[in-house]
Amino acid sequence: MYLQRMSGFPNYVNNSDGLPPPYTKSQEPRTGSRWSPKAWTRKVTIGVFAIAAGLLAVIIIAAVLGSRANAYPDYSPLHYTLVDTYSGRTFFDNFNYFTGYDATAGFVHYVPRETAMSEQYNLTYAGADSAILRVDTSETDASTGRFSVRIESKKQYNSGLFVFDILNTPYGCSTWPALWLTDQSNWPEHGEIDVVEAVNQANNGNQMTLHTSRGCKMDVKRKETGSSLTKNCWNETEGNAGCGVQGKQDTYGQSFNANGGGIYAMAWRHAGIRIWFFGRSNIPSDIPADLTNTSAPNPDGWGKPLADFPNTHCDIGNHFKNQSIIANIDLCGTWAGDASVYSKEDFCPGQCTDF
């Protein structure tokens, strides 16, 4: 505005503006260009400096916004030592069995350990090399849901590197399996980390998601190979969709199983939460096949993770606490059984509960 009026400078300085009249030929002429600060009136000087200040403010704001857009945490190397191992025939001794109906309207009854391990149902069992969870198919009357299992580790964690070796993932119409961490008694305040989760045919691969209380967003710079989905982790947005990342098709389901499974590794630290996936033929050499090996895994040599949840707009230490490792197989429910998913996306037959 000031610059526009200065372009018509002779008209700007006039008596109607309450300013001294222009110089006459008999008066001392101005020295230098009319653009020289020495030639400016007080009002013009104030106006120009106001413009300069405004431009400076714009430059500063733009620089701050640019800095925020490029902000990224310091994932400096950490040294890990083996703390816990869940494996072998005593695998299920490390877990409590959740019992009752499913909180997400799933079509299951989660049964106690005694029922799950009974000869009649045999829903959980472990050998020297693997542990198995499955859904009952023996009952002819499942009108209120099928028997299934949900196990929760007795120990809770507040950080660490978690390595999950998975041989086979359940998939097919009506299924909703998950491998995740949470503090069920303090949800969502203590957060939820979904490491492995898919529904029905699982044609889209694995989805990794965070669910939190208010104040955790992923609308920031991230370094990941997966595809970012919704970016607000707060459970009261997007129908509790959380902030998810979608993996490729071979990260879960039929392709995953055909390739012999693989390893999911989740590093949870103050700087953020990152999840890697390695197919059976691409497992890093520093992840030992023999758990008696004391060599330390080094995530800094693994390349970009499949999912990256940095702490830029999310206080990881505040939103994630006292997490138990949970594995369960749900059926139908609010995700797998939703008609828009069950029928329209996955083309499954009839009603989910009938199937």
Tell me the CA distances in angstroms from 68 to 72, 76, 219, 224, 311, one per residue in order: 9, 20, 11, 19, 13
Which DSSP symbol is given to 177?
E
Q: Alpha-carbon distance 80 to 299, whole Å?
A: 10
192 noted as active-site residue: yes
Q: Alpha-carbon distance 99 to 109, whole Å?
A: 7
Helix, strand, or coil here: 116? helix
Helical residues (DSSP H) of 155-305, grouped into ranges: 253-258
From the number of C-beta atoms within 10 Å of its C-beta (0-12, 13-18, 19+), residue 217 rates as middle
Amino acid at 210: L
Pairing of strands 150-153, 324-331: antiparallel
The residue annotated as part of the active site, out of 28, 192, 224, 238, is 192
Which DSSP symbol is given to 310?
E
189 noted as active-site residue: no
Q: Alpha carbon 318 to chain centroid distance? A: 15
Q: Alpha-carbon distance 151 to 162, whole Å?
A: 17
The residue annotated as part of the active site, out of 28, 119, 189, 197, is 197
Nearest to 320 by CA among 309, 330, 329: 309
Q: Alpha-carbon distance 218 to 237, whole Å?
A: 13
On whether the CB atoms of residues 307 and 275 are closer than 8 A, the answer is yes
On whether the CB atoms of residues 212 and 192 are closer than 8 A, the answer is yes
- Residues forming the active site: 192, 197
